[in-house]
Structures are given as C-alpha cells and as structure tokens.
Structure 1
Amino acid sequence: MKHTNLRPKPKFRIIKSSGEIEKFSEKKLRNSLRRSGLKEKDCQRISKTVSSSVLDGTTSKDIYRKTIKLVKRQSPIAAAHYSLKRALLNLGPTGYEFEHFVGKYFENQGYQTSVGVTLQGGIVRHEVDVVASKPNYNIYTECKFHNNGGKKNDIKVALYVKARWDDLKNGPDGKYLRGYALATNTVFTKDAITYAEGVGLLLLGVNAPEGETFLDIIKKHKLYPITALVRLKKVHCKELLKREIILCSELLTEDKLMLKIGMKPEEVSTVIKDIHTLLGL
C-alpha cells in the first residue's frame, strides 16, 4: 500500500496595518467572508483564490484589496458588508465626517445632537465633539478618528476623556450631564475597555461594547455610511461628505444633488438600487 506524503501548507506571516506580524489564516479570512452574507461556495472559492497569492511579508492591506475586488465582482451588497471597517476609516481625512456619523448614531437612539460645541467646565472650557440631548439628560462624546486601521485607543485616551468629563460635571454646562462617551473608528485596548467599564465611560468602536459595536449597530439599525457603497466613486463620495450627507438612507432623496456633483444618471440609478437592497427596501 502506497503512502502519499501530504505536505502541510506553509504558515506565511503577514504584516497588519498596525505593524504587528501574525500568521495568515485562511480560516479567518473565510469566516470574515461568511459575515458579509456571501454564499458558502463563494466564500470557499474566494478564500482559496486569495490564500494562494499570500506570501511571507504580504500586508493585510494587500489581502483586503484582492479580497474586496473579488467580493465586489460577486455581490456589491456583500462587498458593502465586508468593507464596513474600511468604510469607517474613510469617514475622513479630518474626522469631521466621523463626528457627524456618531451624531447620526445618537439620533437613531432618540437624541437631538449638536457637533463641535464649546462648553464650560469647572476650571477650563472644552470643545465637545458631539452633544446628544434628551430632556434633562445629556451625553457628551469625544471622537477619536484614525486614518490607520491599526491604530489602537489605549488607556491614556480613556484617562484623558474621563478627566474632561470630571471637569465638565463641575461646570455650569454640566447640570444635565448624565454620561460621557469615547467613540472611535478603530479598536480599544483591553486596558482601556477594563478602565472604562470601571468608571462608567461608554465606549463606541469596532470592538466595543461587546455585541453592540459600531459594526453591529450599523447592520442592526441600517446606519450604513455612504463610504460603504462600493459602486459610488470616491470623488463623488467626497463631494457628498462635504455636504454632510453621511448615511446611505440620506441619499435616497438626493437624486438632484448626485447629478449636480457630476454623477451620470445611470450611476445615480446604480447607487439608489444598491441602497434599496442594502436597507432591505
């Protein structure tokens, strides 16, 4: 009886956007594809195709580019789901657009919001990125936007935000301050999460709070940013963001605006169609 020597697949190391090095996992890639809503056979096919091109030193950015290209070809809607982390990174470059996205998040929770408000603390004045208000109940939010997905928000950021919270509570504008939040388009370190839980600081990011992260909320409440639309050209997306059009749902009534910024009628139709499918309309 002949025995076939099956060579194990080589364990290639890839470079993450943070600069960290980790072993490439085809299983991890395949699981991320499953979360996009692709059919199993497509997840298997795409993960195998992309995995075959990975070598030692390949960057996670290169892997993403190859993957999203194949996903987009299969399904623009699955591509929108797959690219949600990237969509949050593209709410820049200054972070002003991300602040407005956070405002939309709180509006979805029933709050009235204001962006970029200067308030008086007990000792000094503070610019608060997002103020979310209900009768006699305010939540102030500090936004930390990063262009690099590998940038983590550590405990120093949480400590800084808590210090601002304490000063604002003791000022004239802190009468109805009931909560303080730290929102980011990337992740928090374990220490930052542990500290925030201990002092009652609300964290909003890619990995917190558990089960209610931005990625979870976007899917649950259909708060897809326009940067998730893979068939919306970057130049047009940029123009729309300048006009404070943040969510896909806001584009449904902006046909004239899309034409005004240079989109062709067929491009407008394609985008509207994708939004309808994405929102389940």
Structure 2
Amino acid sequence: MSAQIRVMNAAGEYEPYEEEKVRSSLARAEADGVFQDRIVEHLRTKLYDGIPTKVVYKEILHLLKKLKSSLASRYHLKQAIMELGPTGFPFEKYFAGVLESYGYKTVTNDYIRGKCVTHEIDIVAWKEDCHVAAAPRNDIAALGMTSSKIMIECKFHHEPGVRSDIKDGLYTYARFLDIKENGFDEIWLVTNTKATSELVAYGNCAGLKVISWNYPEDFSLRLLVSQKKLHPITVLNSLSSVDKQILLANNIVFCYELLNPKVNCLPKDALIKAQNEARLVIGTN
C-alpha cells in the first residue's frame, strides 16, 4: 500500500510515502524497533493518497506522547527550533551556542564597518584553538588569530515549507565581499529549514558554505544538534508557551541550561517538571 500512497510536503509538492523515511526519523529520535513498528502500523490505518506530511507528523507525535514523552520531545526537534521566536534573534544565539559546543568562539549581532557601509553580522565565529589577542567586542577585526574567521548569516523561518533560496545567497555573499578586508576568510549561510538546489549550487561555486536542516549530510543543523543533545527548551512538552518565552527572555535556550541550579525564573513546580523532562530528552541523570 505504501508504494501507492503519495504525501504532500510542506512546499505543496507530492512525493511517494516511504515507511523507511518514517523509521529513519523515529530512529533519530532514539525510538527502537518496537516503537517504530507500532508507529508504522498505526500510520497504515490513517494514510490516504495526498495526505499532508503535517498530518502524518501530528499522528506520529500524538502517539509518541502516549507511548513515551521523551521520544515525542526529541521527534519535535525541527518544529521546536521554529518556535524559538518570530524575529529569528533567538535562533542566532541558539546556533552560536551550537557552534561553541563544537569548539568555536562566537560573537553575535556585531556591527562591522565594511568598505562601503556598516553591517550587522549575525555571528562571527572562529575556532577555539586560535591564538586570540584580547580585543573589545566592537573591534572583532582587531582579533589576532591563526585560523579562519567566519561571517555567518542566519536565515530563520517559522514555517516548514519556506526555503532559503538564491536571493539569500546573493545577499549574504555581497555583504561578505564588503567586509572581507576586515580579516574574514569564510562565509556561511545557515537556515533552520531547507535550502533550494539553486542556492546549494551557487554556494558550491562561490565558496559560500550553506548549512540547512538536512544539508550537508556531515554538517547539517539536524546532525550538529542531535550529536551533542543540543535540544532547545522549546522541545519540552511540559512547558507552556508562556514559560518558554520567559526562559528565552532569560537567555535560557538549551535544555542543558535549564538544569543549572541557578535557574529560578519559573514557579518551582513547573521548573522541576521541565527539568525532569529535560534530563530524559538529553539523557542526563
């Protein structure tokens, strides 16, 4: 039956329904074979030709919440990142934090004078093992380092069907050319959804590193987050929308940050419940 069923993705495109894709997504959420079998069997009773992927997602999430809440939280990762906020600012801080977990040093939302105009740069990053001279925050160009300094442009989308495209690449690379003389060696464009094939082709040609939800395979946003359990607090089902916004306003973005004993911005009962769920999600006892 699955070979005859099509699903409609978030971009409005039809593609064949593949059980293996469902199993792969569940495996990334650390669901074992038993859970995968139960989910796949459940979906077989719900499928119809042209079913939207968002309906499939909701069916899976609903059943996972009944079976094991921590699996549901991990499965919710992509949507949870979209919940970081409509402005995209928390996403910049979030991705900077992800990079820091991989040995990078970062500065967010810095103003740098280019050849023609001044630019606000979402993230400036460099590797931790660089020999960095002390410099004020607003003088990133004065940092003395032995390896690449990276300009990172973040493109945040809060709808799953929206993709970063060639216009984003052209805009980002033009800004890079204007500030390149300040010691920048690399330019990255990072998005929380997908990138069009045209943007990827342009990036490969121009030297613009494109990082999207599932690209490149060995350095995608999904992989970077999952490998080190860098789940945002928005994955937690025990938190209300208001509680999530309170935590984000207090610069608590990652689940592991919620486990800091100094966190006290939520009512005690709500905080304990969220901390217990966070431990299950990221595997901290």
TM range (shorter): 0.7 to 0.9
Counterpart-to-counterpart distance in 2, 1:216 and 1:22: 24
Cα drift, residue 280 of structure 1: 2.7
Larger radius of gyration: 1
Paired residue for 1:29? 22
Q: Deviations over 1:141-188 (max 9, x none)?
A: 111011111212222322221111111113xxx1x3222211110111
Counterpart-to-counterpart distance in 2, 1:145 and 1:9: 33
**Identity rate of aligned residues, in percent?**
32
Paired residue for 1:122? 115
Count of residue pairs brought into register by the alignment: 265
The AA in structure 2 aligned to 1:273 is N
Q: Which structure 1 residue ranges, 5 or more long, are not aligned?
A: 1-7
TM-score normalised by structure 2 residue count: 0.85
Paired residue for 2:80? 87
Q: Is 2:69 the counterpart of 1:59?
A: no
Q: Are the aligned partners of 2:3 and 2:17 in contact in 1 as well (CA < 8 Å)? A: no
TM-score normalised by structure 1 residue count: 0.86
Cα drift, residue 230 of structure 1: 2.6
Q: Is 2:265 the counterpart of 1:257?
A: yes
The AA in structure 2 aligned to 1:96 is F
Counterpart-to-counterpart distance in 1, 2:201 and 2:160: 21
Q: Deviations over 1:88-147 (max 9, x none)?
A: 211221111111111112222333333222211111221111122452343221110111
Q: Deviations over 1:54-110 (max 9, x none)?
A: 223422112111111111222222222212211221122111111111111222233
Paired residue for 2:179? 168
- Which residues in structure 2 correspond to 1:1-281 (within 5 Å)? 11-133=4-126, 135=132, 136-137=144-145, 138-170=149-181, 174=182, 176-253=183-260, 254-259=262-267, 265=269, 267-281=270-284
Cα drift, residue 272 of structure 1: 1.3
Q: Are the aligned partners of 1:118 and 1:128 in contact in 2 as well (CA < 8 Å)? A: yes
SS of the counterpart of 1:246? coil
Cα drift, residue 255 of structure 1: 4.3
Q: Which structure 2 residue ranges, 5 or more long, are not aligned?
A: 133-143
The AA in structure 2 aligned to 1:257 is C
Counterpart-to-counterpart distance in 1, 2:103 and 2:28: 28
Counterpart-to-counterpart distance in 1, 2:243 and 2:249: 10
Cα drift, residue 212 of structure 1: 1.9
SS of the counterpart of 2:266? helix
Q: Are the aligned partners of 1:13 and 1:57 in contact in 2 as well (CA < 8 Å)? A: yes
Q: CA RMSD of the aligned region, Å?
A: 2.1
The AA in structure 2 aligned to 1:33 is L
Counterpart-to-counterpart distance in 1, 2:22 and 2:173: 37
Cα drift, residue 9 of structure 1: 6.0
Paired residue for 1:3? none
Counterpart-to-counterpart distance in 2, 1:10 and 1:110: 44
In the superposition, relative to structure 1, how do residues 24 and 93 fare at CA in structure 2: closer, same or farther (>3 Å)? same
Counterpart-to-counterpart distance in 1, 2:99 and 2:38: 39
Q: Are the aligned partners of 2:3 and 2:18 in contact in 1 as well (CA < 8 Å)? A: no
Counterpart-to-counterpart distance in 2, 1:21 and 1:242: 39
